[in-house]
Amino acid sequence: MISQPEYAADRLVRTLRAIAIAAFIVLATWALAGLLLTIFTAVMLAVMLRGVSDGVARRTGAPPLLMLAAVSLLFVVLLLAFLFYLAPRVVDQVQDLWGQLSQIIADLRHSYDGTRWGHLVLDHLQQGISSVGNHVAGYATDVAATTFSGLARAFVVIVTALYLAVSPALYVNGAVRLFPLRHRDQANRVLIDLGRTLQWWSLGQLIDMAVVGVLSSVGLSLLGVPLPIALGALAGLLTFIPYLGAIAASIPAALVAMTVSWQTALWTLVVFLCCHVIEGYILAPIVQRRTVNMPPALTVLAMTILGALFGPLGVILGTPIAVVALVTTREIYVGEMLGDPEIAGPRGADSKFTDPSNAARRVDNTPPGRGG
């Protein structure tokens, strides 16, 4: 029988060991943050590609791998078209706007520089534009300096995502084998649930992005704004970032609309407001019925914290990382440690989740949302 001092010493050793492991994980995560975010980006892209290709394969009867190849090729073509065709035209329109603003200020200076208030306002306005120009030039230099590394990282992400999407079961089984035997069933169950939840969440985001992109393009076309397709595509892409994406997408569209008139710019903001009201209050609730319902406060906090720690990539990936944290907490802490019957009971009794081979086949072949 273990004496009280021995029990206390053993408990202290266990506590210190847990603290040391937790500290090591935190430090390793901080040191390898860039690599971990790159890996997570590849996983998210693989989940999207696999989810879309499996959905198309189920409805057309085509082989899943053939659909995966077609969807991946379409993704690469659209990405290249946006980078090399649409994005430069948006930049040209912003440069034209910049030239028009400079001309407008010159005209105003000629008309009102003789007045005291006009001289004061125009001096401050000129200083503000010069400051913005200097910042833009600095950002352009930074972008040019990091273009090669960004392209290299994008290439790594795309190639890794393709390998993950082709054989997800291979990587799930490999990850499960890293856990002790007594925890492999639970690890397998959590990984399957994470994959299914991310697949549905990403599918919902793709639907939201497509709807916002189409509505924005149509609205901008009706208003006569230049480059409506490019600006609509940008709006659709930025919809991936909840809340902040809508604001970020409206800025370049409003700037380009200013080349037409300030009234067009105001109507452009109205178009974007309507698009995101439709997305947020009509489409999103329908989509969230089949996926995890993220509390808005948790979404904003995740983007804020990860953005402060890891920059723009942390903001972009803040919501899916919060989804992963929410599902993991539900499965491990609430379901296993607290023994919540609504989570642990039915899933623990389902042999499809407790058999690693069945679970691996589920990742490879089973459509998202079934079998849970």
Mean pLDDT calculated for residue range 319-327: 85
Mean pLDDT calculated for residue range 6-10: 71
Single pTM value for the model: 0.66
List pLDDT tens digits, range 85-142. 766 766 666 666 666 666 666 666 666 556 666 666 656 655 655 555 554 444 444 4
The pLDDT value recorded for residue 13 is: 79
The pLDDT value recorded for residue 218 is: 92
Mean pLDDT calculated for residue range 259-274: 88
262 — pLDDT class (breaks 50, 70, 90): confident
The pLDDT value recorded for residue 219 is: 92
Percent of the chain with pLDDT over 70: 70
The pLDDT value recorded for residue 98 is: 65
| pLDDT value at 143 more than 80 | no
The pLDDT value recorded for residue 93 is: 64
Top pLDDT among 258 and 222 is at 222
Give the pair of three-digit tokens for residue 214.
Answer: 């189409």
Average pLDDT of the chain is: 75
Q: At what angle do helices 244-257 and 228-238 cross, to 10 degrees?
A: 170
Judged by phi (left if over 0) then psi (alpha if -120 to 50, else beta), residue 371 lies in left
The pLDDT value recorded for residue 267 is: 92
The pLDDT value recorded for residue 226 is: 82
Give the pair of three-digit tokens for residue 30.
Answer: 């901080």
List pLDDT tens digits, range 180-202. 888 888 888 888 888 888 888 88
The pLDDT value recorded for residue 79 is: 78
Top pLDDT among 86 and 42 is at 42
358 — pLDDT class (breaks 50, 70, 90): very low
The pLDDT value recorded for residue 328 is: 84
The pLDDT value recorded for residue 108 is: 61
Angle at 187 between CA 184 and CA 193, to 5 degrees: 140
Top pLDDT among 103 and 72 is at 72
The pLDDT value recorded for residue 282 is: 77
The pLDDT value recorded for residue 222 is: 92
Mean pLDDT calculated for residue range 7-14: 75
Q: Which of 28-37, 289-298, 360-369 has the highest mean pLDDT?
A: 28-37
Q: How far apart are CA 28 and CA 265, in angstroms?
A: 47
Give the pair of three-digit tokens for residue 262.
Answer: 């300030």
| pLDDT value at 232 more than 80 | yes
Top pLDDT among 174 and 341 is at 174
Mean pLDDT calculated for residue range 14-38: 81
CA distances from 136 to 139, 247, 329 (A): 5, 19, 42
| pLDDT value at 71 more than 60 | yes
309 — pLDDT class (breaks 50, 70, 90): confident
Residue from 250, 322, 311, 281 nearest 38 by CA = 311
